[in-house]
Amino acid sequence: MTEGQSPPDTALPTLEDVASRSGVSTATVSRCLNSPDRVSEETRKRVMAAVRDLGYAPNFGARTLAGKRTNTFGAIIPTMENAIFARGLQAFQEELHAHGVTLLVASSSYKPSVEEEQIRALVARGADALLLIGHDRTPESYAFLAKRQIPHLIAWAYDPALDRMSIGFDNRQAMKALALEVIDLGHRTIGFITAARDGNDRARGRYEGLCDAMRSRGLDPESLAIRETTYGIARGGEAFAELMALTPRPTAVVCGNDVLAVGAVKRAQQMGLRVPQDVSITGFDDIDIAEIVSPALTTVHVPHREMGRRAARALLDMRNGAGRGPNICLDATLKRRESLGPVPVA
């Protein structure tokens, strides 16, 4: 292979390939990967560009023997602050443990570039397979996984139009069902509190489901008052207060997850508003806090544990050579509780 050429598609790139592509020694490449502060910025950028272009991942010895398994799987979640991932990951880990597999978990903080780094790091440490949340990520991440032939699947989302294995649920249809309940109780002025939709197909699907419900009942989605915010009870409360300052004021506030909805309920009570007599509030996910808060939240029950168990079994099969299985769409069901009521009488 001449200098500057990529290795054949069938061969995994080596340290020497990266050195040749970037015009430095293998020792310099190692320093860039392990002690980047000891290398000039110009050199580091050149080496890391070669790493990305070649799909290189350092091997820490876990795969030095052909066919060697580490019995380690990785999972990358958007955040460790969001309780919605806890149940699913617990079931995922329990199923893996029963088969002698150890789980490594990383958090991307909803940053695609960080997730791309974590994918490479977990593969470099010998992860046999990866669990990923949602379909939105960089093309480079998918290309890297394909080149390294790492089994992976998508959870917490389902999109039959995409040619990737997923075990999840239809966020769009689940939110549409919930929103129809809201609208059919007479609500026409609706607010929506959501996580950022850019780069988050779950949040985007829930927004689209709400718009679908509005259109099906003759309402204009352009009339929807939207507040995007970060995860947290306090953030949900702040977004709710902003919606309540609008004219006309929403009679129902649909939230993209239960934590934001709990924040909305608490702020409503602080403002002297009764839920649902003065304003209805709904959540999504059906985590424990949805039942603990008073009034209990009307929400969408997500099958977290079943999703985690099935994802683990599918990845184990893929790791064992069974190939990619079928996409699986689990049922996400409406949970009607006390926070949703009829539109207030003027």
Determine the Cα–Cα distance for residues 59 and 62; give it in Å rounded to an integer.
Answer: 7
CATH 3.40.630.10 assigned to domain 72-169+304-331? The reply is: no
HSE at residue 336, side-chain half, CA atoms within 13 A, is 9
- At 131 the pLDDT is 97
Same CATH fold assignment for domains 72-169+304-331 and 171-302: yes
Give the integer Cα–Cα distance in Å for 72 and 103.
6
| Dist. CA 210–CA 246, nearest whole Å | 20
Distance of CA 44 to the CA centre of its chain: 30
- Cα distance between residue 182 and residue 254, in whole Å: 9
Q: Look at residue 41 in the predicted model and tell me its pLDDT.
A: 87
Helix extents (H) in the chain: 15-22, 26-34, 41-54, 84-98, 112-124, 139-148, 171-184, 201-216, 233-244, 258-270, 289-292, 304-319
Q: Alpha carbon 190 to chain centroid distance?
A: 26
Q: What is the pLDDT of residue 60?
A: 52
pLDDT in tens, the chain (346 residues): 444 444 445 577 888 888 888 898 888 888 887 667 788 888 988 888 888 888 787 665 444 344 467 899 999 998 887 777 888 999 999 999 999 999 999 999 888 889 999 999 999 888 999 999 999 998 999 999 998 899 999 999 998 888 889 999 999 999 999 999 999 999 999 999 999 999 899 999 999 999 999 999 999 999 999 999 988 899 999 999 999 999 999 999 999 999 999 999 999 999 999 999 999 999 999 999 999 999 999 999 999 999 999 999 999 999 998 888 889 999 999 999 999 999 998 6
Q: How far apart are CA 207 and CA 312, in angstroms?
A: 29
> Collapsing DSSP states into helix, strand and coil, what is residue 192?
strand
Q: Given the structure tokens 């969001």, which residue do they identify?
A: 82
Domain ranges of the chain: 15-66, 72-169+304-331, 171-302
Instruction: Look at residue 10 in the predicted model and tell me its pLDDT.
Output: 54
* Measured distance CA(167)–CA(327) in Å, rounded: 6
Query: In 10 A of CB 271, how many CB atoms?
Result: 13
Measure the CA–CA gap between 127 and 71, rounded to whole angstroms.
8
CB-CB contact of 135 with 201 (8 Å): yes
| Confidence (pLDDT) at 66 | 44
pLDDT at 26 (0 to 100): 85
pLDDT at 109: 86
pLDDT of residue 231: 85
The CATH classification number of 171-302 equals 3.40.50.2300
Q: Which residues pair with 131 in a beta bridge?
A: 75, 153
User: From residue 339, how far is each of 40, 52, 209, 236 by CA, in Å?
Assistant: 58, 49, 20, 15
Backbone angles phi, psi at 40, to 5 degrees: -60, 150
Phi-psi region of 199 (alpha: psi -120 to 50; beta: other; left: phi over 0): left
Q: What contacts 22, CB < 8 A, 6 or more positions away?
A: 29, 43, 46, 47, 49, 50
CATH no., domain 15-66: 1.10.260.40
Q: What is the pLDDT of residue 292?
A: 94
Q: What is the pLDDT at residue 110?
A: 86
The structure's pTM equals 0.80
Positive or negative, the Cα torsion across 52, 54, 57, 58? negative
**pLDDT of amino acid 83:** 74
Strand partners, 228: 194
CA–CA distance, 162 with 158 (Å, rounded to integer): 9
